[in-house]
Structure 1
Amino acid sequence: MRKIFRKDTFRGQLRAWVRLFVFIISLFILVPTFYIEYQQASKQQKEHLENVLNTQTYHFEKWSQERSADIETLANIDIVKNHEYEKAKEFFDYFLTQKTDFADLVFINKEGFVQFDTVRPQVYDSLKIDVRNREYFQVAKNKKEGHITDVLISKVTHQPVVIFASPIIGDDQTFNGVVFGSVDLHTIDQFLSGSKVGDIGHTYVVNKDGILLTELMDHPSEAFGDHFTMDPSILKHVRDSVGPSPLLYQDPQGNWVFGAIQPMNQGNWWMISEIRVMDSFLPFLRKIAVLGLCILLGTFVATRFMIYIARQIEQPIQQLLQGVRYMESGDYTYKITESNITASTQEFRELFSAFNRMSDKVKENIYLLEELSTTCQLTNIYNRRYLTEYGDKIFRECVETGRACSCIAVDIDYFKQVNDTYGHGVGDQVLTHVSSILSSCIRSSDIVTRYGGEEFIILSPYTTLQQSLMIAERIREQVEANPFYYGDIRIPITISLGVAEYSINHDANTLPELIQLSDKALYQAKENGRNQTRPYDENGAAYAFSF
């Protein structure tokens, strides 16, 4: 120590004392920083493991639910429920081209034998593949519920698979068989690899017996049929410590790893996320090394420029904070001005530009959400919510000013027969066809809404009963004169209409009451033969009229 301070001049001693002072200050900074960074690194790795585990568990369970929903959809198709095997198999083959996650789709009759599958080219009347003892068949038969199996060796493909099964339930709620789709383990592996979060660590899935469902080639393990089992010591850790809290153990390669476990599929599977300890703390060690050098070499320079840098940073941050506060209050029009952007550094210019773009995007999305919430997505006209909110304002304005307000209730005649005869897809096209005619026949001040099903409501502000009757009759004639064409098939369309008017002598003091009166008139129109317009008079009765 004496040799350090042996200087012949005051300047030399001052330099030595300054160096010692800087060194001591650096130690006081480095040691606590080391401890804090170590704690933060440990916390970050724990959070990283938990986030990876939760994210991949969510995506995997969502994927499983979607596959179960696919099979349930197949089981509820009419050609499947009616045992139209040839058509069902054609549809299954087509379905498999759209849902490539499935290796095979299988139809099992209610006796427990395979009727057909998508691997073999034809339908078998008595294909003696017996699956009565399979758990998914028993669950479907006895509980009438869908089921996701553990790893099985398929009796059709003879490969290890996971099966998504759903019962076929007849209209009389009787059990008519099972539809299942098999997913091979490599597909599950590919899905999990595709949803990987981050660049370090890995995640894999095992069942409660330790059989790997993913990363089959990445784990040197004991062969078990056509699949593999995980290391027994790791399996013991999994069974004893299921939960998101990280565990410390050695992997099959002898590397110390942090691992977190999350149960899935009603506790039958576990998702395990692992990260090597060295990979986990390597960024921390690098950071400490760089930090030490920076402290030793830059402490003096950093103190000189600290105030200057703080001033340069504080002003742009305050501008960003002000913008965030505006957005928090619901004002999405605020933008950072061009002069402030050009006067800042490149990083802050990018932040300001990104903030302005984000503000525009948020404003655009808010307007879009408001539009979606008040518009029928099928017919592109307003929906019931829009009528309830905006239409009620218009009605109250008519009431307050003492002016007339009329309501027209419209219902498509025999719409159920259209659905039953041609299907709901054609029914949707008929709804769109009628809504376009309604929109073309009303005035700009009128509001046409899809009220529900095949019923529409037209609110006509500042309009008397007679004026609304003329509008309604014009609409009825236009609909009757413009049938819907489904290919070469002509589908005649007629509508029934009920018209009611608000007046100071009437008992309709609210918009729902006015709609109710128009519904009563509509009911009379349908009772009297349909394809007609009925007004509701002030005495509370719907009556026939003529122009």
Structure 2
Amino acid sequence: MFTFSTFSARLRAFMLLLGLLPIALGTIGFAFYSRDHIISDAHQELVHTAAFQKRLIDDWLTGQANNMQFLALDGMVRQRSRDGMHNLFMSFMATHPELDIILYVNPEGRVEVATSGELGVDVADREYFLAARQGKGFISDVLISRDTNMPIVIISSPLKDMQGNFGGAVCSILRMDAVNSLLAGLRPEKGGESYLIGKNNVLLSHLNGTRSADDLDVLDGEMLERIYSAASRGVPYKSINDGLSVVGATTLAKDGKWRIVVERPLDSVLAAAAGQSRLFGLACFGALLIVAPVGWLLARSMIKPLRDLAGYAHEVGKSGETRACPPVAEGSPKEVLELQRAFCTMVDQLEENAETLRQMAVTDPLTGLANRRRLEEEGIRLIDACLRADASCSALLVDIDHFKRVNDTYGHAVGDDALILIAETIGACCRISDLPARYGGEEFVIIASNTDARNAMVLAERIRKRVESTPLEVDGMALTLTVSVGVSEYTRTPSYGLSHLDDVLGKADSALYAAKEGGRNRVCLFEPAPQDGS
């Protein structure tokens, strides 16, 4: 029986339906509209992740190549001292666990020194040795080790003997596990994946699923082309890992020889769309039936400070630089005030930590001087500036005499105190424009811009005398230290290396060797060898 109460109930239900229908339609429309945007945003994040991984891998390989160049410049290597090279290589590997083997190949192409493995092996026809004969460094493609049957990369650097002739090559063997470890720590969150594809469609890295890179699986070329195309356009596709639907991005590394693919499951990407849609519907329903006026007032008091914080976060994330944290207007909700304080405190702490890490990355932790990385970066810049200004520039290579005797006699703690004392003495003698750095072990380098050879010799002699006159206190006794210094002035045409920095350091090393041979505790200026027929 139809009654007014029934009509009223139906009318109320109809009005409620009219109120809920726009919310439902709006929620569904919002979900479809936001889906493409969310996929696009996820793709852009993956593009940035792939670019970061490319820089990391390229910088890591460059750093490994620089390590081989550093070993090739060592005096023991250039003198071809087998025992000295073996001890140097073993010491170097102790601090570089990513290295599997370091070996020295003589000029005839035979393995003469190796941290492990067979000696006397003929590698004269290998690419890395042929490149070394041409004076070039070399980073190989991924190979399968004959000993371990595991993927490896070989990095080599040529060397010159003390007479400047071709002295063979220093080579290192790196396990691809080291590259896999780099990628594993940078996989996208929420089930994301990162992997490397090498030449001839070879899988170079481990995956979260069943595939591994131990046997260098060869993947289907057509399938990879579809993946590369979809990942470049930000279109979802089927992954090689269990056929999951994913959103991906791709880029090239190692001079275009490796391809990085970064992926996230499509389900986890779209989970944000579903959550946003539910939130949208609930917010609309609540605003319609319960708290529309209150919500409007609350939103007005919260939107501006949150927008300011979001804009501030965007600027910090984009530029990496901070400015004054935006204030929050009086009367804002307590939660917004607490969020603003916590966020600004976090940004300040991040800035302090970032600055500390930047300084640690370019500073020798023991002496406080610039480390080898900063020397290579800043030294090249200083010399280039002198080249452009047509100004002089010199290098001083300082070596503590009989430093091994100090360590053996008094212990390594006293040896560290000696290094610190020498570093402080060098810093006190240098100008603000000079670049003093710890070169390695007991060797220090000074790049003196706008300084010719004569003035560099004056600086070197000042350092030598001050070191000799500043004894180190050891258990109440005065330990007199001395240094030998090699000095060289850069020339516009390098002859001791591929760059002006390599050239001036190589010449300073030659002068240092002459100072050592001449009795130590002296300063020697690099003298070019006389030309034939002169």
TM-score category by the smaller chain? Answer: 0.5 to 0.7
Q: Cα deviation per residue 1:193-217 (whole Å; 9 max; x = unaligned)?
A: 1232323320111211122221168
SS in 2 for 1:150: coil
RMSD, aligned α-carbons: 4.8
Query: 1:71–1:179: 8 Å Cα contact kept in structure 2?
Result: yes
Task: Give distance in 2, aligned partners of 1:203 and 1:431.
Answer: 44
Task: Give distance in 2, aligned partners of 1:104 and 1:481.
Answer: 39
SS in 2 for 1:163: strand
Q: What are the residue-to-residue correspondences of 1:510-525 with 2, within 5 Å?
A: none
Task: Give distance in 2, aligned partners of 1:217 and 1:369.
Answer: 33
Task: Give distance in 1, aligned partners of 2:483 and 2:137.
Answer: 43
Q: 2:249 aligns with which of 238, 246, 260?
A: 260
Q: Cα deviation per residue 1:209-249 (whole Å; 9 max; x = unaligned)?
A: 1222211684448x9x9432234443343677785755623
SS in 1 for 2:201: coil
Shift of 1:278: 2.8
Q: 1:130 aligns with which of 111, 122, 142?
A: 122
Q: Measured at CA, do residues 449 and 245 of structure 1 come closer, stay the same or move farther in structure 2, by a change above 3 Å?
A: same
Q: What are the residue-to-residue correspondences of 1:338-349 with 2, within 5 Å?
A: 344-349=333-338
SS in 2 for 1:254: coil
Partner residue in 2 for 1:87:
84
Does 1:184 pair with 2:178? no
Q: What are the residue-to-residue correspondences of 1:140-219 with 2, within 5 Å?
A: 140-142=132-134, 144-155=135-146, 159-170=150-161, 173-215=164-206, 218-219=209-210
Shift of 1:118: 1.1
* Partner amino acid, structure 2, of 1:212: L
* Partner amino acid, structure 2, of 1:204: Y
Partner residue in 2 for 1:499:
none
Would you say how many aligned residue pairs link Structure 1 and Structure 2? 406
Shift of 1:17: 4.2
Shift of 1:291: 4.0
Shift of 1:322: 12
SS in 1 for 2:251: strand
Deviates more, 1:80-89 or 1:357-366: 357-366
Partner residue in 2 for 1:15:
12
Task: Give distance in 2, aligned partners of 1:481 and 1:257.
Answer: 64
Q: Measured at CA, do residues 75 and 242 of structure 1 come closer, stay the same or move farther in structure 2, by a change above 3 Å?
A: farther
Task: Give distance in 1, aligned partners of 2:480 and 2:468.
Answer: 13
Task: Give distance in 1, aligned partners of 2:123 and 2:468.
Answer: 56
Deviates more, 1:292-301 or 1:169-178: 292-301
Unaligned 5+ runs, structure 1: 371-375, 380-414, 439-447, 457-475, 494-547
SS in 1 for 2:425: helix
Task: Give distance in 1, aligned partners of 2:25 and 2:180.
Answer: 49
Task: Give distance in 1, aligned partners of 2:57 and 2:353.
Answer: 32
Q: Give the fraction of aligned pairs with identical amino acids, expressed as a percent.
A: 18
Task: Give distance in 2, aligned partners of 1:315 and 1:239.
Answer: 42
Does 1:115 pair with 2:147? no
Shift of 1:484: 2.1
Q: What are the residue-to-residue correspondences of 1:497-516 with 2, within 5 Å?
A: none
Task: Give distance in 2, aligned partners of 1:117 and 1:491.
Answer: 34
Query: 1:244–1:262: 8 Å Cα contact kept in structure 2?
Result: no
Task: Give distance in 2, aligned partners of 1:334 and 1:248.
Answer: 42
Partner residue in 1 for 2:469:
483
TM-score (norm 2): 0.62
Task: Give distance in 2, aligned partners of 1:25 and 1:43.
Answer: 27
Query: 1:165–1:181: 8 Å Cα contact kept in structure 2?
Result: yes
Partner residue in 1 for 2:40:
43
Partner residue in 2 for 1:510:
none
Q: What are the residue-to-residue correspondences of 1:258-297 with 2, within 5 Å?
A: 258-289=247-278, 291-292=280-281, 295-296=284-285
Query: 1:335–1:356: 8 Å Cα contact kept in structure 2?
Result: no
Q: Cα deviation per residue 1:95-132 (whole Å; 9 max; x = unaligned)?
A: 11100111111111111111121124xxx8xx331212
Q: Measured at CA, do residues 183 and 449 of structure 1 come closer, stay the same or move farther in structure 2, by a change above 3 Å?
A: closer
Query: 1:231–1:252: 8 Å Cα contact kept in structure 2?
Result: no
Rg (Cα) greater in structure: 1
Task: Give distance in 2, aligned partners of 1:331 and 1:66.
Answer: 30
Partner residue in 2 for 1:235:
224
Partner residue in 2 for 1:309:
298
Partner residue in 1 for 2:339:
350
Task: Give distance in 2, aligned partners of 1:51 and 1:106.
Answer: 37
Query: 2:103–2:115: 8 Å Cα contact kept in structure 1?
Result: yes
Q: Measured at CA, do residues 165 and 37 of structure 1 come closer, stay the same or move farther in structure 2, by a change above 3 Å?
A: same
Q: Cα deviation per residue 1:445-488 (whole Å; 9 max; x = unaligned)?
A: xxx964547899xxxxxxxxxxxxxxxxxxx9xx8898123683
SS in 2 for 1:306: helix
Q: What are the residue-to-residue correspondences of 1:321-332 with 2, within 5 Å?
A: none
SS in 1 for 2:52: helix
Shift of 1:74: 1.2
Partner residue in 2 for 1:53:
50
Q: Measured at CA, do residues 299 and 156 of structure 1 come closer, stay the same or move farther in structure 2, by a change above 3 Å?
A: same
Query: 2:209–2:242: 8 Å Cα contact kept in structure 1?
Result: no
Q: Measured at CA, do residues 434 and 150 of structure 1 come closer, stay the same or move farther in structure 2, by a change above 3 Å?
A: closer
* Partner amino acid, structure 2, of 1:260: A
Q: Measured at CA, do residues 242 and 169 of structure 1 come closer, stay the same or move farther in structure 2, by a change above 3 Å?
A: farther
Task: Give distance in 2, aligned partners of 1:43 and 1:351.
Answer: 29
Q: Cα deviation per residue 1:134-158 (whole Å; 9 max; x = unaligned)?
A: 211112212x221111122335655
SS in 2 for 1:103: strand
Task: Give distance in 2, aligned partners of 1:244 and 1:47.
Answer: 10
TM-score (norm 1): 0.61
* Partner amino acid, structure 2, of 1:83: R
Unaligned 5+ runs, structure 2: 360-366, 371-394, 404-415, 436-445, 449-461, 485-534
Shift of 1:64: 1.5
Q: Measured at CA, do residues 44 and 346 of structure 1 come closer, stay the same or move farther in structure 2, by a change above 3 Å?
A: same
Q: Cα deviation per residue 1:249-302 (whole Å; 9 max; x = unaligned)?
A: 353533333333211112221111223333332332344345445545653235
Task: Give distance in 2, aligned partners of 1:481 and 1:170.
Answer: 31
Task: Give distance in 2, aligned partners of 1:317 and 1:116.
Answer: 64
Query: 1:242–1:262: 8 Å Cα contact kept in structure 2?
Result: no
Task: Give distance in 2, aligned partners of 1:481 and 1:100.
Answer: 36
Query: 1:71–1:181: 8 Å Cα contact kept in structure 2?
Result: yes
* Partner amino acid, structure 2, of 1:131: V
SS in 1 for 2:54: helix
* Partner amino acid, structure 1, of 2:240: D
SS in 1 for 2:217: strand
SS in 1 for 2:191: coil
Query: 1:75–1:166: 8 Å Cα contact kept in structure 2?
Result: yes
Shift of 1:27: 3.7
Query: 2:193–2:263: 8 Å Cα contact kept in structure 1?
Result: yes
SS in 1 for 2:70: helix
Q: Cα deviation per residue 1:395-453 (whole Å; 9 max; x = unaligned)?
A: xxxxxxxxxxxxxxxxxxxx969659679x989955733776x9xxxxxxxxx964547
Partner residue in 1 for 2:452:
none
